[in-house]
Amino acid sequence: MSAPRRVGIAGVGYYVPERVVSNADLAQSLDTSDEWIRSRTGIRERRIAAADQAASDLGLAAARQALADAGVAGESLDLVIVATASPDMVFPSTACLIQNQLGAVKAGAFDLTAVCSGFSYALTTGAQAIAAGEAERVLVVAAEKFSGLLDWTDRATAVLMGDGAGAVVLTSDAPRGEILASVLGADGTGIEQLGIPAGGSAQPATHATVEQRLHFMKMNGPEIYKFGVRIIGESVAQALAKAGLPESALDLLIPHQANIRIIQSAAKRFNLSMDKIVVNIDRYSNTSAASIPIALAEAKQSGRLQPGMIVATVGFGAGLTWGANILRW
């Protein structure tokens, strides 16, 4: 059996909507304040998509930027994977919408749902397709329009989420961003901690489900916080070990942007100063699956990613799910 092929990130891109909604804006209609939100989450503002923008529109913009960065044409793609928990519609997939707009006529396309872990799952899946020789060029997109899934009268959740998209192009000959190891995990016993109860086959939409506001995100905040603090450290440590690297080799951490206190706990766990962690939650809030690739793209564009760096990306979210990837830039 031949050895798995090397897989790297040839290009990155991201898109966030133009509209900025500050904490002060939310405080006009919610029982909250800028200080309350910032002290508990680290969020200062978030981007909210226009009414005529869907997840596919955000993802398409990020995808085009990533393809341009990689110097890869849409028609040369073999696979398009979209991580999203806020698809344009139940079906067909958001990936097919993006595939069509890019002219990726020979590419397979599908959506993947792991919510805030979605990018970790999609990146791993795309890399495995190339490593196995089933694809040469894979586009991985994470696109979320969570603003349409929020109860804007619920202070506990309305302040947390924003809209955006990130994308990467994977190839076997990328000069940077080699994926050294990946770890994925799930614990279905925590399925009730975070989710949208209605709208699926278990609870189809009815007048009752709408009246009971069951089509909006519900979350057990304290439990998700404890889960995030624990699982970031565990999954990154496992991925580093799988890559054959000591924890001291870690140069840069790009975590899911869920809560600044969770991120700070990760810094303490790996004895990292905050300048070795990419943080943008203050500007974009929690963009679910999109948070990691947005942060990755910003890190590359700002020059924070330097050749040879060992970089860990890590996500966690509903399911419960989690995933970590180790890159050599």
Query: What residues are annotated to the active site?
Result: 116, 256, 286
Q: What would the two tokens of residue 10 be?
A: 């040839």
Using only C-alpha atoms, the chain has a radius of gyration, in whole angstroms, of 19
The single-letter code of the amino acid at 301 is Q
Distance CA 76, CA 95 (A): 16
Beta strands in 149-286 (DSSP E): 163-171, 178-186, 194-195, 218-219, 252-255
Distance CA 210, CA 109 (A): 32
Partner residues linked to 219 by β-bridges = 194
Q: Which residues contact 254 (CB under 8 A, 6 or more apart)?
A: 277, 278, 292, 295, 296, 299, 311, 312, 313, 314
Burial class (CB in 10 A: 0-12, 13-18, 19+), 273: exposed
Distance CA 187, CA 324 (A): 15
How many other CB atoms are there within 10 angstroms of residue 18's CB atom? 9
